[in-house]
Amino acid sequence: MKILLPSIYYPFIGGISIHVENLIKNLNKLDEFEFHILNYSFEDTIENSFENVTVHKIPYFSKLRGPSYILNGYKIGKKIIQDEKIDLIHSHHAAPQGFLGAVLGKKCGIPTVLTLHGSDVLNLSKSTFGKYFFNYAVNNSEKIICVSKFLKNNLKSNFDIESNVIYNGFDEELFNSSNKDCDYGLFVGSLVEQKGIFYFSESIKNINFNFKIIGNGPLYNKILDFIKLNDIENVELLGQKSQSEVSEYLKNCSFLVLPSISEGLGMTIIEAMACKKAVIGTDVGGIPELIKDGINGYIVSPKDTKVLKDKINLLVNDKNLRKSLGKEGLNYSKNFSWEISSKKTYEIYNSLLTE
C-alpha cells in the first residue's frame, strides 16, 4: 500500500511529527507500506528511522509559507502520485497540508483521508484567510479523523461534517511507569498563547517548589523576561528536548501541568499518566476526556491562576496524593496506544480502497 502524507515531519519537532512517526511505526506491523511525506523544506540532514519512508522537501517562502507549500507541493505531489502509483493520500492538519491533499486527490482521482489535530478546527477555521482552506479541506476529504470527541462534536455542530475519533497513543518504549519523584513540577509544550504558559508562570511565582519548562516557541524570550522581572529563582527554562529526553524528565517529575487555553487532546497528559504521574489540566478541548477530576488529576478553568495555584500547592504539599493520582493515571493510560490507533486507521484505509 503506497501512501502520500502531506504533513509536518522531522526535523520540525511537535505533536504532529510525533503522531506521524508513531503511526508509521505501528502501521508497518500490519501490512507492507511505502510512505512519501510532503514536508516543509529543511537545511538539516536527518536520519530517517524507516526504510520505507521517503521525505520530500517542499520549498516555501517564510512569509507565504502556506500558499508556497501548496503550489510547490502540488507539482511535486502530482509527480510522486504518477511515478510511484500512490494508492491513498493521508493529510495531517487541515491547511495547508489538508488543502493540498484534497486538491491532489480530486485531480488524480485517488481517495483522501484528513486527520484534524486541534488548532485547525479551533483557530484556522475562524481566521479570515484560513477558513477558505479549512472548508475546502474538510469538504473534499473522503474520511476525516479527529483526535478527540471534542473535535468531532465541534466539527459536526459547526460544519455539519461527520468524522471518526481515533485517539493519539504514546510510545510505550519511552513512556512507562516510574516511582521516581525528584520534587519538581513540569510543563511540556510549545511556548505559544494557546498553551497557557503565562498563566502557569504567574501561578507558580510564589510557590516554594522547583519547576521546569520544556519547549520552544515565539514566547520563549517573553517567558524568560517574566521570570527575570519577577525574580523567580525556582523555574528552569530548558528549551526544546527530544522525545527520549522528555520521557526522562516526566519519569523524574512530581506532576505535570498543562494550563491550555485551547487544545485538541493533550498528548503530553497521556505520556505523563503512562509514567505514573499526577496531572493538572484545563477544562478545554479533549483534556476532560483524559483527566477525571480528583481521580487521576485535577481539572481547572483556563486562565484561572488562583485555582491553578491552589491545585499545584495541593500536589506540592502531599506526596501521597501525587502517588495515588499517578497510580490511577497509569491505569487510565492503558486505554491509549498507537497499536489501537494504527489498527483503526488501517481499517479506514482499507474501507476506502475497497470502495
Residue 174 lies in a domain: no
341 shares a domain with 325: no
Grid-cell match 481566521, residue found: 127
Instruction: Tell me the per-residue pLDDT of 179-211, one tens digit each, with 9 for 90 and over.
Output: 999 999 999 999 999 999 999 999 999 999 999
Instruction: Tell me the per-residue pLDDT of 334-354, one tens digit each, with 9 for 90 and over.
Output: 999 999 999 999 999 999 999
295 shares a domain with 245: yes
Residue 33 exposed, middle or buried by CB count within 10 Å (0-12, 13-18, 19+): middle
Which of 12-16, 93-97, 151-155, 328-332 is predicted with the least confidence, judged by mean pLDDT?
A: 12-16
Which of 67-76, 93-102, 116-125, 326-335 is predicted with the least confidence, judged by mean pLDDT?
A: 116-125
What is the separation, in whole angstroms, between the first and last Cα of the chain?
A: 15
Residue 340 sits at φ, ψ, to 5 deg, of: -65, -45
Longest dimension (CA), the chain: 62
Say how many domains are in the chain. Answer: 2
Report the sign of the C-alpha dihedral through residues 27, 94, 7, 239, in that order: negative
154 shares a domain with 263: no
Which residues 6+ apart lie within 8 Å of 100 measured at CB?
A: 6, 38, 69, 70, 73, 74, 77, 91
Which residues 6+ apart lie within 8 Å of 244 measured at CB?
A: 174
Residue 175 lies in a domain: no
Instruction: Tell me the per-residue pLDDT of 302-324, one tens digit each, with 9 for 90 and over.
Output: 999 999 999 999 999 999 999 99
Instruction: Tell me the per-residue pLDDT of 141-176, one tens digit each, with 9 for 90 and over.
Output: 999 999 999 999 999 999 999 999 999 999 899 999
Distance (Å, rounded) from C-alpha 220 to C-alpha 120? 23
Q: Copy the grid coordinates of residue 220.
A: 520563549
Residue 177 lies in a domain: no
Q: What's the rounded mean pLDDT across residues 17-44?
A: 95
Distance (Å, rounded) from C-alpha 277 to C-alpha 328? 9
8 A C-beta contact, residue 55 and residue 75: no
221 shares a domain with 144: no
The pLDDT assigned to 119 comes to: 86
Q: Is the pLDDT of residue 46 over 80?
A: no
8 A C-beta contact, residue 109 and residue 82: no
Among 132, 209, 147, CA closest to 16: 147
- Segments forming the whole domain that contains residue 214: 184-333
Among 103, 93, 163, 98, CA closest to 348: 163
DSSP 99-167: HHHHHHHHHHT--EEEEE-SHHHHTGGGSTTHHHHHHHHHHS-SEEEESSHHHHHHHHHHH----EE--
190 shares a domain with 126: no
The pLDDT assigned to 49 comes to: 81
Residue 189 lies in a domain: yes
The pLDDT assigned to 123 comes to: 87
30 shares a domain with 144: yes
247 shares a domain with 223: yes
342 shares a domain with 324: no
Residue 56 lies in a domain: yes
Distance (Å, rounded) from C-alpha 146 to C-alpha 166? 6
Residue type, 29: K
Q: Is the pLDDT of residue 264 over 90?
A: no
Distance (Å, rounded) from C-alpha 346 to C-alpha 137? 21
The pLDDT assigned to 231 comes to: 87
158 shares a domain with 68: yes
Residue 13 lies in a domain: yes
Q: Is the pLDDT of residue 15 over 90?
A: no
The enclosing domain of 110 has a CATH number of: 3.40.50.2000
**No. of helices (H) and no. of strands (E), the chain:** 13, 13
Q: What's the rounded mean pLDDT across residues 275-288?
A: 96
Instruction: Tell me the per-residue pLDDT of 71-93, one tens digit each, with 9 for 90 and over.
Output: 999 999 999 999 999 999 999 99
